[in-house]
Amino acid sequence: MDWTLAEIIEQVRAYNDRRRRECQQLARIAYGESGMIAVRFGGKGQQIPEIWEVFPFWTDEEVREFRVEKYRRIMEKYAATGGGTRA
């Protein structure tokens, strides 16, 4: 009963953030399961959407970090295979 408004707001924000992280974990499980089902029953060559496109539990900054990491891995793999250099 003796909390300030700022403390109450901070508690609400902390609860919302904790709940968002819990939902992210559940989304990762559901995404993995749906990926297994898609591979088993889906047509060949179909691309599975990224997890952040399907579940809304990520902030714009987190999505940006995921995309940067995804493209960094692609470029590292490309560079490791020769990166388009001609022999």
Token pair in block for residue 19: 């709940």
* Nearest Cα to Cα of residue 58 among 25, 29, 22, 20: 20
**In whole angstroms, what is the distance from residue 42 CA to residue 52 CA?**
20
Structure tokens at 11: 């508690």
In a structure prediction context, what are the per-residue pLDDT tens digits for the chain, which is 87 residues long? Answer: 788 999 999 999 999 999 999 999 999 899 888 877 777 777 666 677 888 888 888 889 999 998 999 999 999 998 888 766 655
Q: What is the pTM of this model?
A: 0.57
